[in-house]
Amino acid sequence: MMAENKLPARNEDFSEWYNQLVLRAELADYAPVRGCMVVRPYGWALWENIQAALDGRFKATGHVNAAFPLFIPMSFLEKEKDHVEGFSPELAVVTIGGGEKLEEPLVVRPTSETIIGYMYSKWIKSYRDLPVLINQWGSVVRWEMRTRLFLRTLEFYWQEGHTAHADAEEAKEEMFRILDIYYNFAVNEAAVPVFKGTKSESERFAGAQITTSIEGMMQDKKALQSATSHYFGTNFAKAFEIEFLNKDNKLQLAETTSWGLSTRMIGAIIMTHGDDQGLVLPPRLAPIQAVVVPIFKNDAEKSKVMEVADRVFKELKAAGIRIKMDDRDNVSSGFKFNDWEMRGVPVRVEIGPKDVEKNSVALARRDRPGREGKSFVQQTDLSTTVAGLLVEIQDALLKRATEFRDANIHDAKTYDELKEVVKDGWAFSYWCESRECEAKVKEDTKATTRNIPFDQPSEEGTCIVCGKPSKRKVYFAKAY
Amino acid sequence: MMAENKLPARNEDFSEWYNQLVLRAELADYAPVRGCMVVRPYGWALWENIQAALDGRFKATGHVNAAFPLFIPMSFLEKEKDHVEGFSPELAVVTIGGGEKLEEPLVVRPTSETIIGYMYSKWIKSYRDLPVLINQWGSVVRWEMRTRLFLRTLEFYWQEGHTAHADAEEAKEEMFRILDIYYNFAVNEAAVPVFKGTKSESERFAGAQITTSIEGMMQDKKALQSATSHYFGTNFAKAFEIEFLNKDNKLQLAETTSWGLSTRMIGAIIMTHGDDQGLVLPPRLAPIQAVVVPIFKNDAEKSKVMEVADRVFKELKAAGIRIKMDDRDNVSSGFKFNDWEMRGVPVRVEIGPKDVEKNSVALARRDRPGREGKSFVQQTDLSTTVAGLLVEIQDALLKRATEFRDANIHDAKTYDELKEVVKDGWAFSYWCESRECEAKVKEDTKATTRNIPFDQPSEEGTCIVCGKPSKRKVYFAKAY
């Protein structure tokens, strides 16, 4: 790659590295409307793989998909006090339809609790109608002022699940079940290690009684909230009259949950695995898992090499590997190598005239650039070799990211130590769970509480800020 | 089913039959915003099957998916004269964002030619970048005044493909290739017989040079335009400066196409196959292809019957049949039969105590209600029997719909005959292709030209309205 085409180094300008990588790997582009993005085919193919992995998990646990409207009457948002407070500063409002001023302005959905609550109150009459377990894939709009591709855009793509249950226990189980799905997806598909836990009161979703999240550490050591799962109690059921006749034939309010994972997850993947050459994709989600690059200098070489390359391509494809042939004749092999490295393709299969003679190919793994990641293997049983290598890469990415994360979490014991630690890492410390102590940390360090992980030490401690007794530790970190 | 639960008969009130069927089969519901719909899980599962069938065909022909923003600057629509004329009366306009009045109002996309054209002008630089073959799944908004669930709603779900090519011939080939995909999908998946053809000048998409469509006949003999594929020439390329360096290193305008199929197709399926008992779904798209209904009067019978029912369920599921077990104990078998008939499930597998003894089951086909569609078969090899029956039903639905359609198309030879025919059928007649003659037919009969089919008789004729020479016949019909 020519010098002017190099990405900024991560350790010099992480933010600019990220922005350029997104554009250069052709994952997304800026739309003409401020803060909006275009997800390009390569980025969307990644999102489709994320969707498939999650959708299968949702369906396996009894969820079904549906579609609710984009437009919500403004009055709906006002029915739940916390909800309207949380979202009203961020709304896009339609005031004109078909050339006429509308009597009631319509909000472009920032999230769909209200409109789905309204429909649930029509559909749910008896305990026999419960639980209702609906998910929706789509986009929502929040008028954000500072935007970044995938991380925070005016319109973003996500899934939002909305469920209604006969009792609180079942609703909470649902919230945790979904959080487990997100965790399992992040770790096993995206190779992004995350912590499951509860958000603090001040970081809760607008209208929720409990918000849980998964939180990952990016390579700049900032935290990224990667998905959330909420328990609403009867807040939305009260606001929208979601009532049912229970087994004793008495009217009862439903208990509801909602949960979402967005295209932000693509940002998490980029910032967890990417390197100075570009994107590094986990094989299980990569739109292209392996690329075949035939190498030749003249027509005689070409015909020999292409014969093997075509055969290898077919064999890998037949084995279910998502494979691409790069037989472009207007760019050099070096250009191709850089190109596919920028796009994060996990394995490159190089085939040159020497390989034809030796019945071999060169395999280059994306997660270990240069000589270290290169191996020369027999063509025989190549699909088994490549499939095995893909598993190895998937595991190696998770291992590397987990080690990096764990090495950058510090068990801060004093407030001074905490202040030092969160400059370039996370602190894992006892906290009294008061808003005051949380606000002080934020004020002093810009670090916020990420979540109170379910996984806690057995002993109790004292709040790192005020010294009062504390039952649980929390992660403090600067966050996206 | 109780009398008050019966649908209106199709031949008494087709329109009310349709509306009630959509609600009662739980395909969709009315949203709180006028003209918007909620697609319920059963309807969305049908749409997901439609999506999968189409998406596979698009990808097999080299198309990729992407996502473009919901919001389009108002000024973009004004760049193509016909396009803005066509769409400006139907726009939903965002004038407020984040609590502030916007400097430039944003249109909620009614279709995405303009914003995609803008992005293509950024991405396409050289003939090597062409063709660009992008599709998008999503929703669009058109401020319609008279709405019907699935047929015409303010917001509707669809796919919209947008392609750019180096020359006109290739672009036209693309338009036809996609129309073939739509045709193939409608006939082979939805069992909806349709005609492929060219729309008249007055029925063209706003901004198109050629619009092609597939048109089907509903059971009320009205036509439903079920999908369209457009060739724009360089209209949008000019408006958005989509230019590339050709092989001679000269700047040249790209040729573009667009094409779409929407949730309207669900309306086509309902109105082509439904009967007075409810929905009738083509097996290839049905979310549930077969339902097992165990029948018993007491616990002793129940345990015997459920053993067989569970085994049958597992066997059919393992064979890849989309199967549902209806073991509800709070409703009668008769209620269940009606329930699944309303939902259009192609095959019902009934298992009672007698069947357990005889190693048999009763199969009821949805396309032939009552005794005629019932057969008693051995449990042995049941999955093969059911799979075969599903194929038979699929074929029978297409055959019946095709015969119905063909019996209701008349080769009107005089204008008086045409006027009579289009009261309750379609006319297939020569037409001079003038706007005047087309407008006269519409004025006199409310019938419009549907399309000029590619399949034409070899001889020429004279226009049914003005008597001038005519090269091609056209379908005239009242339409949705």
DSSP string covering B312-344, please? HHHHHHHTT--EEE---SSS-HHHHHHHHHHTT
Rounded distance between C-alpha atoms, residue B260 and residue B5, angstroms? 36
Helix, strand or coil for residue A303?
helix
Rounded distance between C-alpha atoms, residue A217 and residue A224, angstroms? 6
The neighbouring-strand residues paired with B261 are B159
Q: Check CB contact under 8 Å for B118 and A40.
A: no
CA distance A369 to chain B (A): 29
Q: In this structure, what are the phi and psi dihedrals at residue B26, rounded to the nearest 5 degrees?
A: 55, 40
Helix (H) or strand (E) holding B136: strand B132-141
Give me the residue from B36, B39, B94 closest to A108, CB to CB.
B94
Q: Check CB contact under 8 Å for B31 and A66.
A: no
Closest CA to B228 of B212, B245, B210: B212
pTM of the entire structure? Answer: 0.97
Instruction: For residue A226, give every residue at least 6 positions away whose Cβ sits within 8 Å of its Cβ, in sequence order, or none.
Output: A182, A186, A192, A194, A213, A214, A215, A216, A261, A264, A265, A268
Q: Check CB contact under 8 Å for B32 and A66.
A: no
What residue ranges in B345-456 does DSSP mark as E strands?
Answer: 347-351, 360-365, 374-378, 409-410, 426-431, 448-449, 452-453
Q: Check CB contact under 8 Å for A29 and B134.
A: no
Closest CA to B165 of B108, B213, B232: B232
Phi-psi region of B89 (alpha: psi -120 to 50; beta: other; left: phi over 0): alpha
Token representation of residue B121: 């002008």
CA distance B358 to chain A (A): 35
Token representation of residue B252: 């040249």
Helix, strand or coil for residue B124?
coil
Rounded distance between C-alpha atoms, residue B423 and residue B402, angstroms? 20
Other CB atoms within a 10 A radius of the CB of residue B69 amount to 23
Q: For residue A101, with 0-12 CB atoms within 10 Å meaning exposed, 13-18 middle and 19 or more buried, which class applies?
A: exposed
ipTM above 0.90, yes or no: yes
Q: For residue B459, with 0-12 CB atoms within 10 Å meaning exposed, 13-18 middle and 19 or more buried, which class applies?
A: exposed
- Burial track A154-177 (b if 16+ CB lie within 10 A, e otherwise): bbbbbbbbbbbbbeeebbbebbbb
Token representation of residue B328: 């509800």
Query: In this structure, are residues B117 and B243 in contact, taking their beta carbons and an 8 Å threshold?
Result: no
Q: Check CB contact under 8 Å for B105 and A88.
A: no
Rounded distance between C-alpha atoms, residue B274 and residue B16, angstroms? 13
Query: In this structure, are residues A46 and A287 in contact, taking their beta carbons and an 8 Å threshold?
Result: yes
CA distance A158 to chain B (A): 12
Query: In this structure, are residues A73 and B32 in contact, taking their beta carbons and an 8 Å threshold?
Result: yes
Q: Check CB contact under 8 Å for A66 and B39.
A: yes
Query: In this structure, are residues B401 and B193 in contact, taking their beta carbons and an 8 Å threshold?
Result: yes
Query: In this structure, are residues B142 and B89 in contact, taking their beta carbons and an 8 Å threshold?
Result: no
pLDDT score for B86:
87
Rounded distance between C-alpha atoms, residue B102 and residue B81, angstroms? 24
Instruction: For residue B419, give every residue at least 6 positions away whose Cβ sits within 8 Å of its Cβ, in sequence order, or none.
Output: B444, B445
Closest chain B residue to the Cα of A156, Cα to Cα: B69
Rounded distance between C-alpha atoms, residue B111 and residue B156, angstroms? 11
Helix, strand or coil for residue B19?
helix
The angle formed by the CA atoms of residues B225, B229 and B232, to the nearest 5 degrees, is: 130
Token representation of residue B144: 């319609």
Q: In this structure, what are the phi and psi dihedrals at residue B242, rounded to the nearest 5 degrees?
A: -85, 95
> Between the CA atoms of A420, A425, A431 and A433, what dihedral angle is there, to the nearest 10 degrees?
120
Query: In this structure, are residues B327 and B335 in contact, taking their beta carbons and an 8 Å threshold?
Result: no
Rounded distance between C-alpha atoms, residue A384 and residue B187, angstroms? 41
The dihedral built from the CA positions of residue A399, A404, A405 and A411, taken in this order, carries a sign that is positive
Phi-psi region of B73 (alpha: psi -120 to 50; beta: other; left: phi over 0): beta
Other CB atoms within a 10 A radius of the CB of residue B221 amount to 19
Query: Per-residue pLDDT averaged across B295-310, rounded?
Result: 96
Distances (CA, A) of B156 to A68, A402, B216: 11, 44, 20
Per-residue model confidence as pLDDT tens digits over B226-254: 999 999 999 999 999 999 999 999 999 99
Closest CA to A386 of A340, A339, A324: A324
Mean pLDDT of chain B: 96
DSSP B372: G
Residue B4 has pLDDT above 90, yes or no: no
Give chain A positions within 8 Å (CB) of B73: 32-33
Q: Where is pLDDT greater, at B82 or A158?
A: A158
Query: In this structure, are residues A448 and A477 in contact, taking their beta carbons and an 8 Å threshold?
Result: yes
Q: Check CB contact under 8 Å for A106 and B88.
A: no
Give chain A positions within 8 Å (CB) of B329: none
Question: N- to C-terminal Cα distance for chain A?
Answer: 31
Query: In this structure, are residues A425 and A408 in contact, taking their beta carbons and an 8 Å threshold?
Result: yes
Query: In this structure, are residues A228 and A211 in contact, taking their beta carbons and an 8 Å threshold?
Result: yes
pLDDT score for B84:
85
Query: In this structure, are residues B431 and B471 in contact, taking their beta carbons and an 8 Å threshold?
Result: no
Query: In this structure, are residues A151 and A267 in contact, taking their beta carbons and an 8 Å threshold?
Result: yes
Q: Check CB contact under 8 Å for B33 and A122.
A: no
Residue of A44, A49, A339 to mutate when probing chain B, most B C-beta within 10 A? A44
Give chain A positions within 8 Å (CB) of B98: 89-92, 143, 145
Q: Check CB contact under 8 Å for A65 and B41.
A: yes
Q: Check CB contact under 8 Å for A141 and B70.
A: yes
CA distance A36 to chain B (A): 7
> Between the CA atoms of B301, B306, B312 and B313, what dihedral angle is there, to the nearest 10 degrees?
150
pLDDT score for A461:
96
Closest chain A residue to the Cα of B30, Cα to Cα: A119
Q: Check CB contact under 8 Å for A38 and B89.
A: no
Give chain B positions within 8 Å (CB) of A24: none
pLDDT score for A19:
98
Rounded distance between C-alpha atoms, residue B196 and residue B22, angstroms? 27
Query: In this structure, are residues A26 and A43 in contact, taking their beta carbons and an 8 Å threshold?
Result: yes
Closest chain A residue to the Cα of B157, Cα to Cα: A67
Q: In this structure, what are the phi and psi dihedrals at residue B252, rounded to the nearest 5 degrees?
A: -145, 145
pLDDT score for A3:
43
Instruction: For residue B12, give every residue at least 6 positions away whose Cβ sits within 8 Å of its Cβ, in sequence order, or none.
Output: none
Helix, strand or coil for residue B292?
strand
Query: In this structure, are residues B90 and B110 in contact, taking their beta carbons and an 8 Å threshold?
Result: yes
Give chain B positions within 8 Å (CB) of A92: 71, 94, 96-98, 106
Closest chain B residue to the Cα of A104, Cα to Cα: B33
Note the residue count of chain A: 480
Q: How do strand A194-198 and strand A251-253 relate by DSSP bridges?
A: unpaired
Rounded distance between C-alpha atoms, residue B449 and residue B161, angstroms? 25
Query: In this structure, are residues B118 and A32 in contact, taking their beta carbons and an 8 Å threshold?
Result: yes
Task: Provide the residue-wise pLDDT of chain A in tens; the chain has 480 residues.
Answer: 344 578 999 999 999 999 999 999 999 999 999 999 999 999 999 999 999 999 999 999 999 999 999 999 999 998 988 888 888 899 999 999 999 999 999 999 999 999 999 999 999 999 999 999 999 999 999 999 999 999 999 999 999 999 999 999 999 999 999 999 999 999 999 999 999 999 999 999 999 999 999 999 999 999 999 999 999 999 999 999 999 999 999 999 999 999 999 999 999 999 999 999 999 999 999 999 999 999 999 999 999 999 999 999 999 999 999 999 999 989 999 999 999 999 999 999 999 999 999 999 999 999 998 899 999 999 999 999 999 999 999 999 999 999 999 999 999 999 999 999 999 999 999 999 999 999 999 999 999 999 999 999 999 999 999 999 999 999 999 999
Q: Check CB contact under 8 Å for B32 and A76.
A: yes
Could you please report the per-residue DSSP string of A125-175? -BGGG--EEEEEEEEEE---SS-BTTTB-SEEEEEEEEEEESSHHHHHHHH
Instruction: For residue B380, give every residue at least 6 positions away whose Cβ sits within 8 Å of its Cβ, in sequence order, or none.
Output: B359
Rounded distance between C-alpha atoms, residue A289 and residue B348, angstroms? 43
